[in-house]
């Protein structure tokens, strides 16, 4: 038998890393997590914009979920920073495809209007499972982009994939919006939670 260079019979550190990466790849599937997708300074700016426009907040409160929503694209769509952000998100999408080693097979029409969401600490730690494309109208959503704008004690869970994504400032999680990828949001156990969210649309 060929000598592996490891007299103890254990797997080499290099092979262990490859195995770890392979297992991680299998577990994650088409969910990808990228740290530093937004700078911490820009995250702070987006939170400041949200808090400075309280008169335009929309309260979403139903049996499944409760949060404040600010339609960022509606009020800032003509600004250069908004266009730069959209371009940046499409660049993340291209990187995501490369990570999955997939060609760009989706005929898309760009991204949905960007929204900033604020979740408060609640008695119910978990928000019921949901998917982003639930009917004919929302079926236009192909790929979801969820950016975390602050550090807080909460998570986004993908139960079918066995993945829990910690809320870390500047991080983005990119994922398919289909029924195979239900999401459970964990509300913050301390303070507030700010997210920036959008979806890539089918053409």
Residue 23 in this model has a pLDDT that exceeds 50 = no
Of the candidates 75, 18, 17, the residue with the CA atom closest to the CA atom of residue 46:
75
Yes or no: say if 4 and 113 are a contact pair by the CB < 8 Å rule. no
Q: What is the pLDDT of residues 100-125, one digit of tens each?
A: 888 777 888 899 999 999 988 766 66
- Label residue 9 by pLDDT band (50, 70, 90): very low
**Rounded Cα gap, residues 47 and 16, in angstroms:** 41
Q: What is the pLDDT of residues 73-86, one digit of tens each?
A: 999 999 999 999 99
Of the candidates 151, 143, 56, 136, the residue with the CA atom closest to the CA atom of residue 107:
143
Mean pLDDT of the region 42-66 = 90
Of the candidates 184, 164, 194, the residue with the CA atom closest to the CA atom of residue 65:
184
Computed over every residue of the chain, the mean pLDDT equals 85
The pTM of this model reads: 0.83
Yes or no: say if 141 and 133 are a contact pair by the CB < 8 Å rule. yes
Mean pLDDT of the region 30-53 = 96
Q: What is the pLDDT of residues 126-162, one digit of tens each?
A: 667 888 888 889 999 999 999 999 998 888 999 988 8
- CA distance from start to end of the chain: 56
Residue 20 in this model has a pLDDT that exceeds 70 = no
Topology of 29-202 in CATH?
Jelly Rolls (2.60.120)
Residue position matching structure tokens 């049996």: 63
């Amino acid at each position: 038998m060929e000598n592996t260079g490891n007299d103890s019979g254990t797997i080499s550190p290099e092979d262990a890393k490859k195995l770890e990466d392979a297992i991680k790849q299998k577990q994650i599937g088409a969910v990808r997590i990228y740290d530093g997708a937004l700078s911490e300074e820009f995250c702070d700016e987006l939170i400041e914009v949200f808090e400075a426009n309280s008169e335009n907040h929309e309260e979403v409160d139903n049996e499944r979920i409760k949060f404040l929503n600010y339609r960022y694209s509606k009020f800032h769509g003509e600004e250069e920073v908004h266009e730069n952000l959209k371009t940046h998100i499409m660049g993340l999408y291209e990187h995501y495809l490369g990570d999955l080693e997939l060609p760009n097979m989706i005929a898309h029409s760009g991204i949905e209007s960007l929204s900033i969401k604020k979740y408060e600490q609640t008695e119910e730690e978990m928000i019921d499972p949901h998917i982003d494309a639930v009917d004919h109208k929302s079926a236009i959503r192909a790929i979801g982009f969820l950016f975390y704008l602050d550090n807080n004690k909460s998570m986004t869970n993908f139960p079918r994939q066995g993945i829990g994504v910690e809320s870390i400032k500047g991080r983005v999680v990119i994922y398919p919006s289909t029924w195979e990828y239900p999401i459970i949001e964990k509300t913050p156990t301390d303070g507030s939670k700010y997210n920036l969210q959008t979806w890539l649309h089918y053409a």
